[in-house]
Structure 1
Amino acid sequence: MKHHKKAAPQLQQHARPHRNVPQPVPPVPEVDTANSDQASVAYSAYRTGLSNHRTGLSEHRTDLSEYRTDLSDDRTEMSMRRTGMSFQRTRMSADRTLMSIMRTALSLISFGFTIFQVFNKLLHEPAVRLASDAPRNFGVAMVGLGILALTLGIVYHLNFMKALRIERNSMVQQGLLHGESPYPVSATLITAGLLWLLGLFAIVSMVFNVAPFA
C-alpha cells in the first residue's frame, strides 16, 4: 500500500487574547425580608448578574485555552521538523565516518602500490639484493588491508543507513515526520565503491602483472 505524504502545515502567528479586565462582583442586594416576593426577584437578578460575570470569565478562559492549543500545535510542528533535520544530520555523520575510512583505505592502497612500484624497479639494479617476491607481497598486503578496511566501512554504512531509512519510514507512516526532505543514495557510498574497485584492480595488476597498472 502506498502512503501519501501530507504537506507540512505552515506556521502561523497567533494573536494572544486581550488581557481580561476584571469586573467587580455585583454587590449583594439589600432586600426587605418581610416581602418574600420582592426578595426573590432581587436575588434572582443578583444571581443573573453573577452568571453573566462567570460567563465572561469562562469565555476568556476558553480564548486562552484555544491560544495555548494553537501554540502547542506549532510546537509539535517544530518538533517534527527538528526530528527530520536530526535524521539528515545523522545521515551526514554516517557519510563523514565513511569518508574517514576511505581516507585510511586510500592511504594504505596508494602506499602499498607505491612500495611495490619502487622496489620492483630497484630489483633490476645490480647493487640491490632483495627477494623478488618481497615488494609484491608487501604491496599486496598493504592494498589488501586497505580493501578490507574499506569493505568493513561499506558494510557498516549500508547496514546503518538501512536501519535509519526503516526508522524514518516508520515515523513517517505514524505521522511523526512529514518526510518531505529528499533521502537520495549517498554519493560518498558510490565513491567508496569506486575506490574499492580501484584497489581490486591494483591487486590484480601487482599479482598477475597485467593492465591497467602494470
Structure 2
Amino acid sequence: MSETTSKAPTKTSQLVRPERLPVTPVPPIPKVDESRSDLASTKYSHYRTELSNHRTGLSEHRTSLSEFRTDLSIHRTDLSTDRTEMSMRRTGMSFQRTRMSAERTLMSVIRTSLSLISFGFTIYQVFQKLKNAGTLTQAGAPLNFGITLVLLGIVMLIFGIFYHLQFMIGLRHERNAMRAEELIHGESHFPPSVTLITAVILLVVGIAAIVSMLFQIGPFQ
C-alpha cells in the first residue's frame, strides 16, 4: 500500500458568524407619581419586564457567539488533524526519497568502480599480450598500473557497499522507531536493493579479475 493513500478528510460545513446585535438602549427608568402606589407598582413591573427582555436578548446573542466560537474551535481542530496527517505522510515519503537517493549514490560508485576495473584490466591485458608476443621487453610499469586501477576499483566498491549497508540499516531503524511512536504511517515497504546485488556481483567479478592478473589463473586468462 502506498504512503500517499489515505482516507479523504471530511469537509466542514461553511461557518456563518451570527449577525451583529443592533444597539438597543436600556429602557429608561419610568417616572412615577409616588403618591399613587398602585400605578407606580404597575409601571415598575412593566419596567422590570422590559429589562428582563433586554437581558434575554443579550443572553441569546452571547449564546449564539459561544456556539460560533465552539464551531470555530472544532473546525480548527479538524484542520490541525488534517495537517498532522499530511505531515506524517510527507515524512513517510521522505524516507522513500532518501532510500532512492542512497541507491543513486551506490549506482555512481558502481559506475566509477566498473570504469576503473575495466580500464585497468584492459591495460593489463594489452601490455601482457604485447610482452608475451615479444613486442615489448619491459612492461612492468603499465602492468602494475593496470593492477593498481583494478585494486582501486575494488577498494572503492567495498567502501561503497559498506557505506550503503550502514546507511540503510540506520535508515530502517529510524523509520521503524518513528513508526512505533506513530509519527509516520510507514505503510510501504523497502524492496530488495537490486543496485546492492549488482554491486556485490561486480565485486566478485573484480576479485576474480585481480586474482587472475596476479596469479595467472581463473576465467580471465
Alignment TM class, shorter chain as reference: 0.7 to 0.9
Larger Rg: 2
Using the size of structure 1 for normalisation, the TM-score is: 0.87
Aligned to 1:13: 11
| Structure-2 residue corresponding to 1:148 | 155
> Where does the alignment leave 5 or more consecutive residues of structure 1 unmatched?
1-6
The 1:161/1:90 distance shift into structure 2, 3 A limit, reads same
The alignment partner of 1:23 has SS state of coil
Correspondence list, 1:191-202, <5 A: 191-202=198-209
Superposition deviation, residue 104 in structure 1: 0.8
TM-aligned CA distance change 1:25 to 1:166, over 3 Å: farther
CA distance in 2, matches of 1:151, 1:62: 62
Quick check: 2:161–2:196 contact (8 Å CA) kept in 1? yes
Structure 2: distance between partners of 1:113 and 1:12: 64
The one-letter amino acid paired with 2:117 is I
Residue 157 (structure 1) aligned to one of 164, 168, 187 = 164
Look up the match of 2:51.
43
Give distance in 1, aligned partners of 2:12 and 2:156.
Answer: 55
Alpha-carbon distance between aligned partners in 1 of 2:217 and 2:23, rounded to the nearest angstrom: 101
Name the CA distance, whole Å, in 2 between partners of 1:155 and 1:127: 43
2:18 touches 2:64 (CA, 8 Å); kept in 1? Answer: no
Q: How far apart are the structure 2 equivalents of 1:127 and 1:62? A: 95
- TM-score of the aligned structures, taking structure 2 as reference length: 0.84
Instruction: Give 2:175's match in structure 1, choosing from 168, 174, 177.
Output: 168
- How far did 1:91 drift? 1.0
1:63 aligns with 2:71: yes
Alpha-carbon distance in 2 for matches of 1:42, 1:15: 37
Matched, 1:82 2:79: no
User: Structure 2: any 5+ residue segments left out of the alignment?
Assistant: 33-40
- The share of aligned pairs that are identical, in percent, is 57
- Shift of residue 179 of structure 1? 0.6
**Deviation at 1:109?**
0.5
Of 173, 182, 187 in structure 1, the residue corresponding to residue 189 of structure 2 is 182
Contact 1:32 1:39 in 2 (8 A): yes
- In structure 1, distance between residues paired with 2:58 and 2:114: 83
Amino acid aligned to 2:159? L
> Quick one: distance in 2 between partners of 1:89 and 1:33?
82
Do structure 1's residue 138 and structure 2's residue 145 form an aligned pair?
yes
For 1:106-133, what per-residue CA distance to the aligned partner results, in whole angstroms no more than 9, with x for missing partners? 11100111111111110123342214x5
Q: Secondary structure at the match of 2:132?
A: coil
* Alpha-carbon separation, structure 1, partners of 2:132 and 2:216: 16
Aligned Cα root-mean-square deviation (Å): 2.1
Letter in 1 for 2:28: E
Which is worse superposed, 21-30 or 76-85? 21-30
Contact 2:130 2:136 in 1 (8 A): yes
* CA shift digits 1:144-202 (9 cap, x unpaired): 11010011111111111111111111111111100112212322111111111110111
